[in-house]
Amino acid sequence: MRRRPGEPRSRILPLLCDRARVAALREEALGLPSWDLTFHQIWDLELLLNGAFSPLRGYLGEKDWRSACETMRLADGTLWPIPVTLDVKEPFAEKLSPGRRVALLHPEGMVLAILTVSDVWRPDREAEAAAVFGTTDETHPGVFLLRHQTNPVYLGGTLEGLELPPHHTFQHLRFTPLQLRAQFERLGWKRIAAFQTRNPMHRAHVDLTRRAAQEAAAHLLLHPVVGRTSPGDVDYFTRVWCYEAVLRHYPSGLAMLALLPLAMRMAGPREALWHALIRKNHGCTHFVVGRDHAGPGAGSEGRPFYDPDEARELCLKYQGELGIAIVPFEELVYCEDLGQYMPRREVPQGARTLVLSGTELRRRLREGADIPDWFSYPEVIDQLRRSYPPRSQQGFTVFFTGLSGAGKSTIANILVAKLMEIGTRPVTLLDGDVVRKNLSSELGFSREHRDLNIRRISFVASEITKNRGIAICAPIAPYRSTRREARELIGQYGGFIEVYIATPLEVCEKRDRKGLYAKARAGLIKEFTGIDDPYEAPEKAEVVIDTAGSPAEEAASKIVLFLQKEGYIGEQADRG
């Protein structure tokens, strides 16, 4: 039932235990099997423990999971549109059965919770993707995550919390649902409209939320997600600085800012319902749902995954049951003639409207071009420019991929020399063979080991890129999904340039400088790429080179020219 203003807020159930129980649990945890939580899992666990996912008492069991996937409800009929389960690896799951208890560990080693397992099962993740995301197209980040980054066994069960995961950043903006409710009480706020965002806020957002607050006669909670958002989004540090800056543009006392450590699924309309429930649990009475809420953009065929109005319509349909009022919002555009933002359909006929897309904003930031005042606030633009300097000042990674003997190392070495000669940034080479002698010396060539090898290389490259250096990686990297992971990880911090050395297998085999192809053909080496292990050629590499047709020097020059054209490096004459 929808709560009317003045009614007590719905009860929530944080799963944190009292001090005496925590001491007993700590003792017990010493003798339990333990699971090291991933970042994604920590975000889910935090919101389970602090009550943001009420009425869940832990991870969904198989029946609830199936029901949530198929009907957006738990098995008892409660509205719950997004499955929340704990995914673990096979060998770990083999030790478990219903009734077993498991200690859940933070990466720093603390026991955060103890799970009493109710269900252990191998889910059909394709069916989950189809049900929750309405697609199995893996350009959808949620589908990709389920297919490639989710462990094969799910655990369900109830949780007893020992402590919440610690946060070391922006502590003044972190509130559990109970703390937020208490804060609203202190401020005397009775009606609160929550605004969800994963992007920096500009003038249009401020205008929209002001209108929403006015319409709902409510105060405003800016409640941005700082857990996992969509790949390519602006990092949360930069966003928080931007939010703090826009806060000053609201009438005094109207709005407050709090951060939500949620792992988004990008499930569009379903996710919008989930977001509304989470905000209800945080004590909000209204939830603003705009165009294309939690949408991941377009799929591989160029069509958006969700109709932009669908999230709003679904939330309105379930409004009574959600227990939080929905404030639907249309896209605002800037009407130049009137000098103000307004809903598109209210713009007088013939009046000129202006919009600046996210892509155009990124282009202007990248090229240091002007960003108009009607679009954003100078402080916000300053923050964005600081975090996203022009490409010539960013770090970048050149990520080679191709068969053994394709010429990756030779070209990579020449490229390193050329970039060092240009000399604007430090250059690090992470060659496949060399990495395998040190960083990955214990690894073999199974799919699991190759993935681990590429993840290690990507991690190092991402750190170099973050610190504005140049990383040149030259592994085989035969699998498309792992290269996409590398792109997503490194792309957060700077440029990612995939270079496909497309030398055909016959040519590589004929060269066979290391004699490995001969050995592989003779069965002396197993899982050899191109012989008895697959190589998945890139579909959209930034640069493609077939060394059968061009000498290594020319190939390296082609890459340098690409880097210059894209603005990563200046002309030689720019130096000094």
Interface with ligand PPS, residue 562, by CB under 6 A: no
Catalytic residue among 85, 176, 197, 529: 197
Residue choice 104, 516, 541, 560 for contact with ligand PPS (CB under 6 A): 516
DSSP assigned state of 86 = E
Query: How many whole angstroms from its chain centre is CA 186?
Result: 34
Interface with ligand PPS, residue 480, by CB under 6 A: no
- For ligand PPS, how many residues bind (rule: CB under 6 A)? 21
* Span near ligand PPS by CB under 6 A; candidates 67-75, 198-206, 218-226, 429-437: 429-437
Compare residues 436 and 558 and give the one whose CB is closer to ligand PPS.
436
CA-atom Rg of the chain in angstroms = 26
Compare residues 144 and 535 and give the one whose CB is closer to ligand PPS.
535
Query: Residue 389 in contact with residue 493, Cβ under 8 Å?
Result: no
Going residue by residue from 348 to 367, which x/- string records binding to ligand PPS, judged by CB under 6 A?
--------------------
CB of 432 to ligand PPS, least distance (A): 3
Query: Residue 333 in contact with residue 340, Cβ under 8 Å?
Result: no
* Span near ligand PPS by CB under 6 A; candidates 1-9, 295-303, 305-313, 404-412: 404-412
DSSP structure string for 188-240: T---EEEE--SS---HHHHHHHHHHHHHHT-EEEE--B-SB--TTPPPHHHHH
**Number of Cβ atoms within 10 Å of the Cβ of 287:** 31
Helix (H) or strand (E) holding 87: strand 86-88
DSSP assigned state of 281 = H
Residue 27's identity, in one-letter code, is: E
CB of 148 to ligand PPS, least distance (A): 16
151 is catalytic: no
Closest CA to 85 of 119, 130, 112: 119
Closest CA to 150 of 225, 269, 50, 41: 41
Interface with ligand PPS, residue 477, by CB under 6 A: yes
Interface with ligand PPS, residue 229, by CB under 6 A: no
Going residue by residue from 520 to 549, which x/- string records binding to ligand PPS, judged by CB under 6 A?
-----x-xxx--------------------
DSSP structure string for 473-531: EE-----HHHHHHHHHHHHTTEEEEEEEE---HHHHHHH-TTSHHHHHHTTSS-S-BTT
Interface with ligand PPS, residue 450, by CB under 6 A: yes
CB of 541 to ligand PPS, least distance (A): 15
DSSP assigned state of 251 = P
Going residue by residue from 456 to 475, which x/- string records binding to ligand PPS, judged by CB under 6 A?
-------------------x
Interface with ligand PPS, residue 447, by CB under 6 A: no
* Span near ligand PPS by CB under 6 A; candidates 21-29, 227-235, 428-436, 486-494: 428-436
Query: How crowded is the C-beta side of 341, counted as CA atoms within 13 Å?
Result: 20
Residue 160: φ, ψ to 5°: -120, 120
Interface with ligand PPS, residue 209, by CB under 6 A: no
Interface with ligand PPS, residue 254, by CB under 6 A: no
Residue 429's identity, in one-letter code, is: L
Interface with ligand PPS, residue 494, by CB under 6 A: no
Residue choice 141, 156, 227, 405 for contact with ligand PPS (CB under 6 A): 405
199 is catalytic: yes
In whole angstroms, give the CA distance from residue 136 to residue 176: 34
Closest CA to 201 of 170, 171, 241, 174: 241
Residue choice 196, 409, 458, 465 for contact with ligand PPS (CB under 6 A): 409
Interface with ligand PPS, residue 512, by CB under 6 A: no
CB of 398 to ligand PPS, least distance (A): 15
DSSP structure string for 371-432: --TTTS-HHHHHHHHHHS--GGGSEEEEEEE--TTSSHHHHHHHHHHHHHHH-SS-EEEEEH
Interface with ligand PPS, residue 392, by CB under 6 A: no
Catalytic residue among 199, 353, 413, 424: 199
3-state secondary structure at position 309: coil
Q: How far is CA 166 from CA 73, 128, 153, 174, 245, in A?
A: 31, 31, 27, 10, 25
Interface with ligand PPS, residue 432, by CB under 6 A: yes
Interface with ligand PPS, residue 397, by CB under 6 A: no
Compare residues 392 and 458 and give the one whose CB is closer to ligand PPS.
458
Residue choice 170, 374, 445, 459 for contact with ligand PPS (CB under 6 A): 445
* Span near ligand PPS by CB under 6 A; candidates 160-168, 337-345, 351-359, 431-439: 431-439
CB of 400 to ligand PPS, least distance (A): 9
Q: Computed from CA positions of residues 136, 139, 143, 148, in that sequence, does the dihedral angle turn out positive or negative?
A: positive
Interface with ligand PPS, residue 433, by CB under 6 A: yes
Compare residues 196 and 404 and give the one whose CB is closer to ligand PPS.
404
Compare residues 293 and 484 and give the one whose CB is closer to ligand PPS.
484
DSSP assigned state of 160 = E
* Span near ligand PPS by CB under 6 A; candidates 61-69, 327-335, 391-399, 446-454: 446-454
In whole angstroms, give the CA distance from residue 468 to residue 395: 4
Residue 535's identity, in one-letter code, is: Y
CB of 561 to ligand PPS, least distance (A): 24
CB of 485 to ligand PPS, least distance (A): 13
401 is catalytic: no
Query: Residue 267 in contact with residue 230, Cβ under 8 Å?
Result: no
Residue 143: φ, ψ to 5°: -65, -45
* Span near ligand PPS by CB under 6 A; candidates 81-89, 166-174, 405-413, 459-467: 405-413
Under the rule (CB under 6 A), what is the footprint of ligand PPS?
404-405, 408-409, 432-433, 436, 445, 450, 453-454, 475-478, 514, 516, 525, 527-529
Catalytic residues: 197-199
